Amino acid sequence: MKLEAPWQKIALTYCALLALVVLAYFFADRELATALKPITGGIKLFPALTHIVNPLAPLAAIGAAYLAARALARGSLTPLEIAVLRVCCAILIAIAVKEVLKGAFGRTWPETWVCNNPSYFGNGTFGFFPFHGGQAYASFPSGHTTAITALAGSLWVLCPKLRWLGVVLTLCVVIGLLGADYHWLSDIVAGAILGGTTGVAAAKIELQSPEKG
């Protein structure tokens, strides 16, 4: 059975994106991290940029709960409230999925942060250890990138005037993650795929009312 043209384009796009993750893993992750470490290491700006993501999960949870309560009380939501609810759901769903994927892939981090965790710069450990479990094996995909691109993806569809904000926030977080050696490049690309997809999907699902027969 042949796929329709739009689905062919989508399939090809995701194949290309996944190929980019694989290429980054083999040819860019260690090289980029090693090149950046002596340049950006110790600069406080880079870790600070990653904190942009911190309020997203609690705000999304509070927003979704509040809007759900309003919908129950009033029986409906305004178009703006529906849009905000979509953004909140995109962030929360993306965060939940990335936690599952982190446990499944079991990738080690670039740096040693806590409890002498194995890392590339700590003891040369580099790779995936599927279903190992524990925070020492939770680098892939990047949760920070997943959350911020879920926001950016939903804004891209729901509020074109704010597309610039999603792009700027995403770039800031990515620069911070790479500069602080918090994540590998392939972690970030994978997180962007997951978050962006979730954001766009949450914004578009049943966006148009079904036609009346």
Going along the chain from its start, the domains and CATH numbers come out as 5-204 (1.20.144)
Distance CA 14, CA 186 (A): 15
Q: What is the pLDDT of residue 210?
A: 46
Residue 184, C-beta contacts closer than 8 angstroms, at least 6 positions apart = 24, 25, 29, 33, 107, 110, 139, 140
**Which regions in the chain score pLDDT beneath 70?**
1-5, 207-213
Cβ–Cβ under 8 Å, residues 30 and 124: no
pLDDT at residue 213, as a whole number: 40
Distant-in-sequence, close-in-space partners of 192: CB < 8 Å, separation ≥ 6 = 145, 146, 149, 170, 174
What local confidence, expressed as pLDDT, does residue 205 receive? 86
Q: What is the pLDDT of residue 102?
A: 98
Which amino acid is present at 157?
A: V
> Considering the entire predicted model, what is its pTM?
0.92
Question: What backbone phi and psi angles, to 5 degrees, belong to 119?
Answer: -155, 165
Name the amino acid, one letter, at 117. N
pLDDT for the residue numbered 1: 47
